[in-house]
Amino acid sequence: MGFEEIQTACVIRYAYVWSHEAARGETEGRKARPVAVGVRLPRPDGDGLVLFPITTKEPDAGRFAVEIPDIEKRRGGLETGVRLWIILDDYNEDVIGRSFYLEPEPPLGQFSRAFFLPVMRAFIARKRQAKGLKRR
């Protein structure tokens, strides 16, 4: 299995580091969690990924997040019996082939374009308000 299956809108497991953890000096994710691949950008030195955490913790009112509908949870290979959100004001950037945190494992699933494209458009419109962490 290789990295070629990791594409935009896929759900993978990743040792995500939250921006508040990075601000405290943490460099390692506390656990591998499901993340949404926001975009895969081809680059000569390794394709870049923008990764958004998926959480069961309901975000505070001021957070930029999208609740995942049940049908999209199934498509993404996620648990359907719980509420889940994609957090869009916190993201990690990583590079395939240069990352210590990406594994060449198949994705858990993939969100539909009908669901994910508007989510990414909303992120692009508000990207300046988001906190990103480059992990390459």
Residue closest to 10 by CA, chosen among 93, 113, 89, 96: 113
pLDDT for 136: 67
User: Structural domain boundaries of the chain?
Assistant: 3-134
User: How many angstroms separate the CA atoms of 119 and 113, rounded?
Assistant: 10
Contact predicate 55/105, CB 8 Å: no
Residue closest to 52 by CA, chosen among 110, 5, 120: 120
pLDDT for 107: 96
Per-residue pLDDT of the chain (136 residues; tens, 9 = 90+): 578 899 999 999 999 998 888 888 877 788 889 999 999 999 888 899 999 999 999 999 889 999 999 999 999 999 999 999 999 999 999 999 888 889 888 999 999 999 999 999 999 998 888 888 888 6
